Structure 1
């Protein structure tokens, strides 16, 4: 039931059908009110200067846009850095140091899937999850960090930072609840807006390929993977940040008679502990250093 609802909402927000469009227009007055409240929030917020370089990578809409691989690509060759994020889907609360400058300190249940990606892909970075980004920034400064990357923090207008926004094309340009926009790029708010294929491109690597693979993934708008997929036996989509069980994955292998499960790295960090046969569709970003050469 939850999975069906999540996919219906994604369709409603990004590619609405006729009756969904009607619902969207009926909710439009609420969208105007919501957008006005978010503008007031921005207008009367004063950003705090933490005395350290902070770069935020985000997007204006709900759902996935490639923030995690973008931060990874931007930060991979830099030193004395920290990545700070909320840690959505984790079973812990408060501030958790997922990785210090040398070691991963917690498991994926405590970190959340996206934080664990950073921990595994950025060996030189400190990774911190916290609902309160300011607390995490101060903790990173205590640890001697010189540069901080915030994952999905455009809306944190009370933090002085450089905002990078990844543009996400959509046929629905309304604010919530009529459309996918959480906020607008407000007048007076500077942000670097980057577009796929213009400022960056996706590069995929297929590892441990088998002749019969079943796609299993729990990312937002999983149809985004279609253009990068090799031939698969079947596709199994779960809601974003879904916590897999070994039993449900074993059932997929049996039903499809597959030799392996094809997963993204976001899925891999949650599934690898089960010891099942996995093939990895690793999506990374190649940055075109025009606008972003100085970062």
Structure 2
């Protein structure tokens, strides 16, 4: 049911310029009820808080961007932490109001798949809580000198000092309507209040004046023995692309760019995999790093699965802006 709803939503948002009247009516009601909450929140955080979010629902590359920023700030000698809502962690941490620290071995069913992936790949403290302000307070109390928030652009209770909005260079803002008729969480005028806008590219629709970042393949990792192969190790091969992400078409295009011939097996975003999910799917299977944190917990560990690891190559101008902001914070 959830997968069918996601397919319908994607059709409505990205292939229907003028949604049916009842969806438009609900979007108008959305605007009336929440319009007063669409300004950038006031308040001054105790340390620099860099929010990485988006206006449209899902699929803009937030997690790799958060990881890249955390690594960059750590490289500057800063005590960096990441905070997150913990989506997908329905059995505990993300669903409560008590902050929980995530480590690389944490259960994604408790903490969320993206926070566990961030903890694994960034090597910085990660805190999850439904109340992002509580997560921020916990991170600061533990010694963080700068915080990167995975999403949270619309979280009114979180004071922030720098906002980055990510935009899918191919899909952009879909039909331009607010939820539920379109994919927008907030109106486009919200972009006037942010510090940086970053497009996921490269894409022919990105203008020369627009900053963009790329998700670059790093390796194919065999799930059963963690062997690291070149990203194009399966070039020319027919593969099964298993993805429980917001926009699996992006993953398919990445595999095609590596010379693979993928057949997509799509699951709902943040899907909690069980062993039976992979029955009948022919090997070799290639999946995302986000899905791999859940597949690794299956018993017995599946064989014939490769994980495509990617990294976000952020523009130097953005990194310099973030560094300058952190250095000038509090002055």
TM-score (norm. length: structure 1): 0.87
Which residue of structure 2 aligns with residue 52 of structure 1?
A: 47
Secondary structure class of the residue paired with 2:152: coil
Moved more, 60-69 or 202-211: 202-211
Aligned-pair distance for 1:264? 0.6
Q: Deviations over 1:110-158 (max 9, x none)?
A: 21110011110011x1101100011111111110110001111111244
What's the RMSD between the two structures over aligned residues? 2.2
- Alpha-carbon distance in structure 2 between the residues aligned to 1:186 and 1:89: 27
Matched, 1:39 2:35: yes
Secondary structure class of the residue paired with 1:281: strand
Aligned-pair distance for 1:206? 4.1
- Alpha-carbon distance in structure 1 between the residues aligned to 2:186 and 2:19: 22
Asked whether the 8 Å contact 1:38–1:183 carries over to 2, the reply is no
Q: Deviations over 1:196-251 (max 9, x none)?
A: 334211211341555553111100011112321142463200010011111221x1
Q: What number of residue pairs does the alignment pair up? A: 280
Decide which of 174, 181, 190 is 1:178's aligned counterpart: 181
Decide which of 51, 55, 59 is 1:64's aligned counterpart: 59
Q: Deviations over 1:10-29 (max 9, x none)?
A: 22112238xxx442x44223
- Alpha-carbon distance in structure 2 between the residues aligned to 1:281 and 1:68: 14
Q: Which runs of 5+ in 2 are unaligned?
A: 203-210, 221-228, 323-331
Which residue of structure 2 aligns with residue 241 of structure 1?
A: 270
Aligned-pair distance for 1:89? 0.9
Asked whether the 8 Å contact 1:97–1:127 carries over to 2, the reply is yes
Aligned-pair distance for 1:34? 1.4
Matched, 1:98 2:102: yes
Residues 176 and 22 (structure 1), Cα distance of their counterparts in 2 relative to 1, 3 Å cut: closer
Secondary structure class of the residue paired with 2:137: helix
Which residue of structure 1 aligns with residue 84 of structure 2?
A: 85
Secondary structure class of the residue paired with 2:194: coil
Secondary structure class of the residue paired with 1:291: helix
Residues 35 and 128 (structure 1), Cα distance of their counterparts in 2 relative to 1, 3 Å cut: same
Secondary structure class of the residue paired with 2:313: strand
- Alpha-carbon distance in structure 1 between the residues aligned to 2:267 and 2:296: 17
Q: Deviations over 1:43-76 (max 9, x none)?
A: 5x85232211000000001122100011111111
Moved more, 199-208 or 75-84: 199-208
Asked whether the 8 Å contact 2:287–2:306 carries over to 1, the reply is yes
Asked whether the 8 Å contact 1:215–1:235 carries over to 2, the reply is yes
Decide which of 288, 310, 316 is 1:264's aligned counterpart: 288
Secondary structure class of the residue paired with 2:280: helix
Asked whether the 8 Å contact 2:83–2:149 carries over to 1, the reply is yes
Moved more, 87-96 or 179-188: 179-188
Asked whether the 8 Å contact 1:199–1:289 carries over to 2, the reply is no
Which residue of structure 2 aligns with residue 132 of structure 1?
A: 131
Residues 65 and 30 (structure 1), Cα distance of their counterparts in 2 relative to 1, 3 Å cut: same
Decide which of 211, 230, 252 is 2:280's aligned counterpart: 252
Residues 293 and 248 (structure 1), Cα distance of their counterparts in 2 relative to 1, 3 Å cut: same
Aligned-pair distance for 1:42? 3.5
Which residue of structure 2 aligns with residue 73 of structure 1?
A: 68
Asked whether the 8 Å contact 1:53–1:161 carries over to 2, the reply is yes
Higher-RCO chain (CA-CA 8 Å, sequence separation at least 6):
1
Which residue of structure 2 aligns with residue 28 of structure 1?
A: 24
Structure 1 residues 99-178: aligned runs within 5 Å: 99=103, 104=104, 106-123=106-123, 125-158=124-157, 159-168=159-168, 169-178=172-181
